Structure 1
Amino acid sequence: MSIKVGVIGAGGMAQYHIAGFKQAGAQIVAIADLNEAAAQAAAQKYGVAKAYGSIETMFAELPDLDAVTIIVPNKFHAPLAIQALEAGKHVFCEKPPAIDAAGVQQMKDAAEKAGKTLMFNFNNRARPESFAMKAYAEDGTIGRINSAQAKWIRRTGIPGFGGWFTNKDLAGGGPLIDLLHMVDLAMYLMDYPEPAYVLGQTFSDFIDDKNFKGPWGIPDAGGPTNVEAAAHGFVTFKSGQTLNLQVSWAELVKREEVSVVFQGTGAGGKIERLFGTDGLDETSIDSCELYTQEGGNSVNRSIVTEPCEDMGRSRSAANFIYTITGEEKPLNTPDQALSLMKVIDALYESAKSGKPVAC
């Protein structure tokens, strides 16, 4: 019997979630959105039978719904996930997990109480390059990763002005919380050590300059633009490992770069995606490399993987279904999401205080 899934939110990411769920054999039975017309349009586009203007109606009319996926502005991730978990549904939620660590803790508690699966769309863990590199981490090739550098930088990548992305109350922050994928991927390859201290700074240069608007995102709206344009930080872990991070929507760099570089005791390495035009997948180039010493020589290994245009988004969604059915282990856990959000919270606090902050 296949898993029955309801989609909460009719935004663009729904296409990847739906594709992944179907790939794993699930049924997409309904789409719910406060904008019922948008839900109906999405249902028609993706061949979904039912559309609703509220999740309460969806839950009432579809009591046999097994799971939901949440694709809404960040502020609503935690309350909707908790509502769904309390209704007995498994939950797959878009990133970030919530707008702060307190919200993730509440989600985690609700999932444990309900005995249901709670996962998040950290889709870059599901890229072919990441699967390959994680295998080298697990088989001992890389050894202990002492230090890593996580980067997602854009030159002109602000996703609209005055919409929910730039509204701190709705988004929780700017690029640090939006483009948290490489910080997560670095910590994942490092086996998610427990963070100790974070020192960081945020920058708001260019956040009101429409010359720095990206080619994707949402239309400009009349709301506030009160988040950072860039964030830089340094994380120490209780294990002694360290992480540098650089994340930006608008920063004077040569090109968009999405990468994790690390230095291990057995090998170093890099997972990277370079964009010719900010944010456009069709202009991207992926690479994956290992750096070792062999026979007195410096050897760089190029790891060849199959192309993945959607950066692992559908494969990440498929893993959620496979986790529910017991066919795969989860690619991420609530504990990891909580640890990640503690790092983000601490960096924002450090940027305000000018001092290192304990996690």
Structure 2
Amino acid sequence: MTNQRKWKIGIIGAGGITEAHLEAIREEPRAEVVAIADISAEMASYRAKRHDIPQVFTEYETMLQESDTDAIIVCVPNYLHAEATKSALAAGKHLLCEKPMAMNAQEAEEMIEAAKKADKILMVAQNNRFRSDSLQVKTWLKEGKLGNIYHAKTGWVRRNGIPGWGSWFTQKEWAGGGPLIDIGVHMLDLTLWLLDHPKPVSVLGQTYAQFGPHKRGLSEWGRIDDNGKFDVEDMAVAMITFENGLSLTLDASWASHIEEENVFLQLYGQEGGASLRLLDNQFTLYHEWNGVTASTELTPKPQKERVLLFRNFIDAIEGKAVVLCTPEQALYINRLIEAIYASAQKGEAVRL
């Protein structure tokens, strides 16, 4: 029996989301992390010690040159995604990029071209597609159990959840926006993946900044940096219409006067409906049984979606699968986010 190859992984960025990726990689026997880079030597060394990573760098460019890696995971702030991704692809590495793929559609297009030129895998880390409830609903939709879906309602709304006031999260030049591009991107991606990415025709958006400018609605996560600023929205809402007649509404908020944080997705179909409550790991199927209105509540067995995501990435590298989260789909989402912001700025709907 031959020894199984271990793919050598390098990590760019040592922030909080890096921990989730490192924990997932631990459970994939075909891969090992051999290097990590972060401008903070303290943070990079902390992750390296915690996960037995042999090489630590403060510049990712040096890591790409000196470390023997097959693939790179990009976990840096949004404004560095495109630069780091293109550099890694040019160095001949496969690439897994954290969400959002890019700050804007132009950057996303450049990343896609770089992957094509390098002939390497480029995948975006949209982990919610690998949840057991998401996969079950996807199966139902493929089987036609809900019939034609004519409306979807989705969102991620926090009560007090502004991350790291004054950090890169709350500065437009570094993040690209607030909760829309931070957590709204998750729900847009999941909903429109379930619905096979219909062609959008119009977008109406509105943004608000009611809490952040006054340092209210802050999360316990992250530190306040009084030298920073808050120049992004703390809530965004949108309505999108599609060529096939579908409509979608989205709420994305870091701070709101609500009972509790809510991450939700509702689908309205001619033959049935589905409601997902992602924080509770529960979903409900609304349907009719012998002419009688019925609701079936399900609690699927949780599964480690980031482990499944990373496994799909490795499978794609080995030619055993295609990536479930393609860069072209991420570009599609980037264009919608841009349109929502543009609509909010203009005060009117935007045609696509």
TM-score band w.r.t. shorter chain: over 0.9
Residues 281 and 299 in structure 2, CA contact (< 8 A), matched pair in contact too: no
Q: Is residue 118 of structure 2 the alignment partner of residue 114 of structure 1? A: yes
**Which of residues 131, 134, 137 is equivalent to 1:133?**
137
TM-score (norm 1): 0.92
Residues 195 and 339 in structure 1, CA contact (< 8 A), matched pair in contact too: no
TM-superposed deviation, 1:218: 4.2
**Which of residues 55, 70, 90 is equivalent to 2:60?**
55
**Which of residues 283, 286, 296 is equivalent to 1:288?**
283
TM-superposed deviation, 1:150: 1.0
Distance 1:323 1:144, change over 3 A: farther
Aligned equivalents of 1:218 and 1:177: distance in 2? 20
Aligned equivalents of 1:189 and 1:144: distance in 2? 13
Q: Percent identity?
A: 39
Q: Is residue 153 of structure 2 the alignment partner of residue 160 of structure 1? A: no
Aligned equivalents of 2:234 and 2:312: distance in 1? 32
Distance 1:65 1:316, change over 3 A: same
Gaps of 5+ in 2: none
Aligned equivalents of 1:4 and 1:142: distance in 2? 43
TM-superposed deviation, 1:69: 0.3
Letter in 2 for 1:303: L
Secondary structure (helix, strand or coil) at the match of 2:164 reads coil
Name the counterpart of 2:342.
Answer: 349
Secondary structure (helix, strand or coil) at the match of 2:165 reads coil
Aligned equivalents of 1:178 and 1:42: distance in 2? 23
Letter in 2 for 1:16: A
Q: Is residue 40 of structure 2 the alignment partner of residue 35 of structure 1? A: yes
TM-score (norm 2): 0.94
Name the counterpart of 2:100.
Answer: 96
Aligned equivalents of 1:50 and 1:293: distance in 2? 58
User: How far does the alpha carbon of each residue in 1:335-357 deviate from its partner, in whole angstroms, 9 at most, with x for none?
Assistant: 11011011100010000101111
Name the counterpart of 2:230.
Answer: 225
Q: Is residue 324 of structure 2 the alignment partner of residue 304 of structure 1? A: no
Distance 1:138 1:218, change over 3 A: farther
Residues 67 and 90 in structure 1, CA contact (< 8 A), matched pair in contact too: yes
User: How far does the alpha carbon of each residue in 1:135-185 deviate from its partner, in whole angstroms, 9 at most, with x for none?
Assistant: 112222223322101110011111121111100000000000000211111
Name the counterpart of 1:282.
Answer: none
Secondary structure (helix, strand or coil) at the match of 1:96 reads coil
Aligned equivalents of 1:265 and 1:22: distance in 2? 44
Secondary structure (helix, strand or coil) at the match of 1:211 reads coil
Name the counterpart of 1:181.
Answer: 186
Aligned equivalents of 1:249 and 1:314: distance in 2? 27
Residues 144 and 190 in structure 1, CA contact (< 8 A), matched pair in contact too: no
* Equivalent pairs, count: 346
TM-superposed deviation, 1:221: 4.3
Letter in 2 for 1:41: Y
Residues 25 and 307 in structure 2, CA contact (< 8 A), matched pair in contact too: yes
Root-mean-square deviation (Å): 1.6
TM-superposed deviation, 1:88: 1.0
Secondary structure (helix, strand or coil) at the match of 1:161 reads coil
Residues 206 and 340 in structure 2, CA contact (< 8 A), matched pair in contact too: yes
